[in-house]
Amino acid sequence: MLESAQNFMQFQFGSALAFVVIACLFLFVTLLLGRLLRPATQNRDKGTVYECGETPLGGGWFNFNPRFYIVALVFLIFDVEVAFTYPVATVFQRWVGRGDGALAFVEIAAFVLILALGLAYVWVKGDLEWLQPATARNAEPPADTTGAP
Amino acid sequence: MNHDPTATSQKRRVVLGVRDVGDMDAPELPSESIPLNMGPSHPAMHGTVRMVLDVEGEKISNVDIQIGYLHRCFEKEAEHATYTQIFPYTDRLNYISPMLNNVGYAMAVEKLLGIDKKIPERAQYIRVIVGEMARISDHMTCLGAGAMELGAFTAFLYMLKAREWIWELLEEVSGARLTHSYMRIGGVSADLTEGFMPRLRDILTKSRVVLADVDKLLTRNRIFRDRMDGIGIFNKEDCAAWGVTGPVGRSAGLAYDVRKDHPYLVYDRLDFDVPIGSVGDNFDRYAVRVEEMNQSMRILEQAMDQIADGPVLVNDPRIVLPAKSETYNSIEAMIAHFKIIMDGIRVPAGEVYSFTEGGNGELGFYIVADGTGRPWKCRVRPPCVPAVALLEKILPGLFIADVVPTFGMINMIGGECDR
Amino acid sequence: MHMWETIKGSFEYGHPGFTGLSALIKIVYLMLAFGPGLASILTWMERRQSSLMQDRLGPNRANIGRFKAWGITHFLADALKFMVKEDFVPVKAHKFLFALAPVLALAPALIVAAIIPFGAPLCWGHLTEIVPTGTCGQAVDLQIARLDVGILFYFAISSLSVYGATLAGWSSYNKWAMMGGLRASSQMMSYEVTMGMAVLSMFLIYGTLEPGAMVAQQGYWPWQWGIWGIPTALSFFLFLTAAIAETKRTPFDIPEGEPEIIGYFVEYSGLRFGMFFLGEFIEIVFSSALMVTIFLGGWHLPFLDGLADRVPNIAFVLITHGAWIVKVFLFTGFQLLIRWSLPRFRSDQLMQLGWQRLLPVSIANVLITAGWILYSR
């Protein structure tokens, strides 16, 4: 049983976990080392925020455009859907080899088309149009290009 | 417009009215407008200008441009300096094309002295040559810096490389890389150096290669065009009304170039075109400047062909310092030198407005003389102030990101704008 | 004596001690030596390469005595400066999140390396012998974790770095930083969808999510690599574009956009800023490594074909590992090249490109790939 320890999925995940722990430890040690090495003479001026050299106007936290939430929602839906498609993708070759290729293709197509439909919906709804500046290029005909007036 | 922080925090407490469900389909929820400092210490603000933006998200709803952070009392200082001593101050006006300021100021004083028709021809050609070199370096800096602020760093450094060749040559002529002070009232301080012409021709050849490289990097670059096309449109009427001249005015279709409309020096003998834009957006300002550099190169080539030998200063001992050998060896020359240095050139009482085409447009000097060696008043009409003022009308409705190319293509120079 | 035998036994091939120790060595090597090492070299390379492109001298100041080495020592100077520079924290900042953000920006960049195979498998006990491919009984994979979910792990971890940027922006109590954080979150989320879709067509072809298996399916010659073929080349370019957007580099450096909004890390200084800085480069290294794995044949290199039958196992492994490093290095160099050639998008243009151009193309690409597989069988 021990011989196959390397092949255990638990072991592989354990390695990944060890990696995570060591990465965090590495960062922690680095930060700690920095803390010990660097000077710390905080004063009031150093504690101000940078707003281009002037006293900040108003607070630092503001209400931002709800569009960001919409993008986050759309992302969530799309990303989850993409993640759900991965298992189908991995078995696709096997199914094609087994002769069930058409079925697998239809499944993938259904998944992907739902996604495309969702994209089209969001697109038509105008949620993908980020704020457009109010400046379209004028349709004014070009004036004389050279020469003295 | 009120930028009092407390006002904002009070506004924050205002409860939004109850809205019916129909509003859910509204294209956009209103975002709160927040005041934001952009500058004076901001990477895109060319040193020192402050914009107080009211932004909704990243969209600018209102802008208040505050200039004056680089105010150096040029006009007041000029009242206490002799006419010759003002030259170094003019170098610091538009510090990316100091030669053009030199020329503009020298011509104003000469007009007041009534010697503007007597300037030796060679000196006039030299003024055209160094002035056009300065114009090329001005546009190179502007376009390069504009591109850099959009992230195209390589184009910027290519431009600066070419600009450095020009500045090296100007240094050879004047002794200083940036603060040339090369002009004198009545001509130029020294004749061109030996080998100037071949070197300039060589620089023009090399600069054309650089410009072609930059053209490849930028002009047809999709990302660059997306950032420039249709952004920050100045219209012709506004430009005329606000007094916006130079490349910015011309890009909006305002076909005004002092060199063509009121030819000075020897510009009437030189064949060149004035590029005019059709839309007035950032890309037009870019394209107009690129074409102006080509035209300046044409001017330079013609001027180099036409220039003839001769004196470079007027022959008038009241205006021009005696030669050094004279000064050291004869008492008369010594006294003349002393009088001009200490009292300055006696300019008859009167006033004058003289204008030339600077790097950014009409550069005017309005001088009031009271008969002494120092001006009673010396006022500059800086070409970039009207354009910066007009920005307050252009920027609302644009993104914060659009401020960068728009402001860059205005080519606001703090030294000139704030004086 | 008995205990010693037990301990020694547990460090033999296949036993927990051995596997644990080998995993630990691999982890330490990849995370502490390779990742930050190459990233540090990249910080130098970015300056050096750009100076070559831009006709200027480039880094030449941080010399150790007469040791100049084209300014490569600059990264040591950087590291030293980051360590001893004072760290300013805005008074009104959210202290905990402010401290957490740089860790969240750097840690995921390191952790994604866990799934990337970085060389041919070692054959334990036969290191000095010639071991033809596939005949080894005691193989040690040059890959830290052979996860079935493979690339999904990469996405799961790398998307955590969104939090780093967003929280850095939000916790600074600075409007510019917050704008940068918002831009970062919307940008990184948008391009992750494209990234996922682009790589989906590769999964269809490989039939697995596991990077080691993907590399095993690719051969030594370029036409045996994942990129060979029309749908896969397309997904390579989609993935590359999205990956550059994920690493927030020009032309996609909207969240930093120095001359515009200064960046989400504007309030950071010293070591914490250094972590953002290093994190960006480590992201480049490992996203390049992932692309090399999926599209460019992993550690395979032309002319190494059949080498396993001629040289000792350890030499073969080292050569393949070297080949992998060279590939990753060149690919990161290519990414730096892009940075110095292009201007930056505007945030709305970036979103438009992501959602309205790349995503539809990648969706179509999935269908085309699936159809192509079906047809070619």
- Smallest CA–CA separation between C179 and chain B, in Å? 8
pLDDT of residue B206: 92
Do the chains contact at B274 and A53, CB–CB below 8 Å?
Answer: no
Of C178, C359, C374, the CB nearest to A61: C178
User: pLDDT tier at B368 (50, 70, 90 boundaries)?
Assistant: very high
- State yes or no: pLDDT of B407 exceeds 80: yes
% of chain C beyond a pLDDT of 70: 97
In angstroms, the CA A67 to CA B28 distance is 8
Query: Is residue B228 within 8 Å of residue B273, measured between CB atoms?
Result: no
Q: What is the mean pLDDT of residues A70-92?
A: 84
Q: Which residues of A touch B239 (CB under 8 A)?
A: none
Chain C, residues 174-193, CB within 8 A of chain B, namely 175-176, 179
CB count in 10 Å sphere of residue C80: 12
- Smallest CA–CA separation between C109 and chain B, in Å? 25
Segments in A38-149 forming alpha helices (H): 67-98, 101-125
Beta partners for B363? Answer: B356
User: pLDDT tier at B125 (50, 70, 90 boundaries)?
Assistant: very high
- State yes or no: pLDDT of B349 exceeds 70: yes
- What's the mean per-residue pLDDT of chain C? 83
- Smallest CA–CA separation between A74 and chain B, in Å? 16
In angstroms, the CA C287 to CA C235 distance is 15
Residue B324: its H or E element:
helix B324-329
- The string of pLDDT tens digits covering residues C71-104 is 788 888 888 888 888 888 888 888 888 888 988 8
B21-35, B346-360, C181-195: range with lowest mean pLDDT:
B21-35
pLDDT of residue A65: 73
Here the ipTM equals 0.81
Beta partners for B353? Answer: B366
**Phi and psi based region of residue C298 (left: phi greater than 0; alpha: psi -120 to 50; beta: remaining):** left
Do the chains contact at B399 and A66, CB–CB below 8 Å?
Answer: no
C300 touches chain B (CB under 8 A): no
User: pLDDT tier at C110 (50, 70, 90 boundaries)?
Assistant: confident
Do the chains contact at B279 and A138, CB–CB below 8 Å?
Answer: yes
B134-138, C54-58, C146-150, C307-311: range with lowest mean pLDDT:
C307-311
pLDDT of residue B209: 92
pLDDT of residue B135: 92
Of A57, A66, A147, the CB nearest to B5: A57
Q: Which residues contact A98 (CB under 8 A, 6 or more apart)?
A: none
Q: What is the mean pLDDT of residues B347-360?
A: 89
Do the chains contact at B154 and C345, CB–CB below 8 Å?
Answer: no
- State yes or no: pLDDT of C19 exceeds 80: no
User: pLDDT tier at A115 (50, 70, 90 boundaries)?
Assistant: confident
User: pLDDT tier at C260 (50, 70, 90 boundaries)?
Assistant: confident
Query: Is residue A133 within 8 Å of residue B59, measured between CB atoms?
Result: yes
- State yes or no: pLDDT of C27 exceeds 80: yes
Question: B390 in helix, strand or coil?
Answer: helix
Residue B33: its H or E element:
strand B33-38
- The string of pLDDT tens digits covering residues A91-100 is 888 888 887 7
The size of the A-B interface in CB pairs under 8 A is 108
Please state the φ and ψ torsions of residue B354, each to the nearest 5 degrees. Answer: -125, 140
User: pLDDT tier at B202 (50, 70, 90 boundaries)?
Assistant: very high
Of B52, B58, B261, the CB nearest to A149: B261
Q: What is the mean pLDDT of residues B235-250?
A: 88
Q: What is the mean pLDDT of residues A115-139?
A: 66
Q: What type of residue is B393?
A: K
- The string of pLDDT tens digits covering residues C340-369 is 888 888 888 888 888 888 888 988 888 888
User: pLDDT tier at B205 (50, 70, 90 boundaries)?
Assistant: very high
Question: B408 in helix, strand or coil?
Answer: helix
User: pLDDT tier at B14 (50, 70, 90 boundaries)?
Assistant: very low
pLDDT of residue A130: 66
pLDDT of residue B16: 40
- State yes or no: pLDDT of A135 exceeds 70: no
Q: What type of residue is C358?
A: L
Question: Would you call A80 exposed, middle or buried from its count of C-beta atoms within 10 A (0-12, 13-18, 19+)?
Answer: exposed
Query: Is residue B95 within 8 Å of residue B140, measured between CB atoms?
Result: no
CB count in 10 Å sphere of residue B225: 16
- State yes or no: pLDDT of C135 exceeds 60: yes
Do the chains contact at B399 and C346, CB–CB below 8 Å?
Answer: yes
Q: What type of residue is A17?
A: L
In angstroms, the CA B32 to CA A62 distance is 8
Beta partners for B378? Answer: B367
User: pLDDT tier at C25 (50, 70, 90 boundaries)?
Assistant: confident
User: pLDDT tier at C65 (50, 70, 90 boundaries)?
Assistant: confident
How many residues make up chain B in this entry? 419
CA terminus-to-terminus distance, chain B: 26
- State yes or no: pLDDT of A143 exceeds 70: no
Q: Which residues contact B209 (CB under 8 A, 6 or more apart)?
A: none
Do the chains contact at A140 and B27, CB–CB below 8 Å?
Answer: no
Q: What is the 3-state secondary structure (H, E, C) of chain C?
A: CHHHHHHHHHCCCCCHHHHHHHHHHHHHHHHHHHHHHHHHHHHHHHHHHHHHHCCCCCCCCCCECCECHHHCCHHHHHHHHHHHCCCCCCCCCCHHHHHHHHHHHHHHHHHHHHHCCCCCCEECCCCCCCCCCCCCCCEECCCCCCCCCCHHHHHHHHCCHHHHHHHHHHHCCCHHHHHHHHHHHHHHHHHHHHHHHHHHHHHHHHCCCCHHHHHHHCCCCHHHCCCCCHHHHHHHHHHHHHHHHHCCCCCCCCCCCHHHHCCCCCCCCHHHHHHHHHHHHHHHHHHHHHHHHHHCCCCCCCCCCCHHHCCCHHHHHHHHHHHHHHHHHHHHHHHHHHHCCCCCCCHHHHHHHHHHHHHHHHHHHHHHHHHHHHHHC
User: pLDDT tier at B31 (50, 70, 90 boundaries)?
Assistant: low
Of C179, C261, C342, the CB nearest to B223: C342
Neighbours of chain B (3+ CB pairs under 8 A): A, C
In angstroms, the CA B232 to CA B238 distance is 13
In angstroms, the CA B57 to CA B53 distance is 11
User: pLDDT tier at B299 (50, 70, 90 boundaries)?
Assistant: very high
Do the chains contact at A6 and C19, CB–CB below 8 Å?
Answer: yes
pLDDT of residue C352: 83
- State yes or no: pLDDT of A38 exceeds 50: yes
User: pLDDT tier at B20 (50, 70, 90 boundaries)?
Assistant: very low
In angstroms, the CA C34 to CA C325 distance is 9
Do the chains contact at A140 and B232, CB–CB below 8 Å?
Answer: no
For tokens 């994190």, the residue is C279
Q: What is the mean pLDDT of residues A134-146?
A: 39
Q: What type of residue is B364?
A: G
In angstroms, the CA B81 to CA A91 distance is 87
Query: Is residue B170 within 8 Å of residue B99, measured between CB atoms?
Result: yes
In angstroms, the CA C213 to CA C225 distance is 13
Bridging pattern class, strands C122-123 and C139-140: antiparallel
- Smallest CA–CA separation between A139 and chain C, in Å? 22
- Smallest CA–CA separation between B5 and chain C, in Å? 14
Question: A89 in helix, strand or coil?
Answer: helix
Nearest alpha carbon to residue B292 among B124, B411, B198, B380 = B411
Nearest alpha carbon to residue C148 among C59, C208, C218, C76 = C208
User: In the structure encoding, which two tokens stand for residue C310, read together?
Assistant: 């001629």
- State yes or no: pLDDT of B416 exceeds 80: yes
In angstroms, the CA C295 to CA C226 distance is 4
User: pLDDT tier at A148 (50, 70, 90 boundaries)?
Assistant: very low
- State yes or no: pLDDT of C179 exceeds 60: yes
Q: Which residue in A has a C-alpha nearest to residue C89's C-alpha?
A: A47
Q: Which residues of C touch A90 (CB under 8 A)?
A: 203, 207-209
- State yes or no: pLDDT of A60 exceeds 70: yes
Q: Go through the domains of chain B in sequence order and give each one's CATH number.
A: 74-418 (1.10.645.10)
Q: How far is CA C30 from CA A122, B200, C27, C114, C138, in A?
A: 42, 56, 5, 8, 22
What is the residue extent of each domain of chain A?
Answer: 67-125
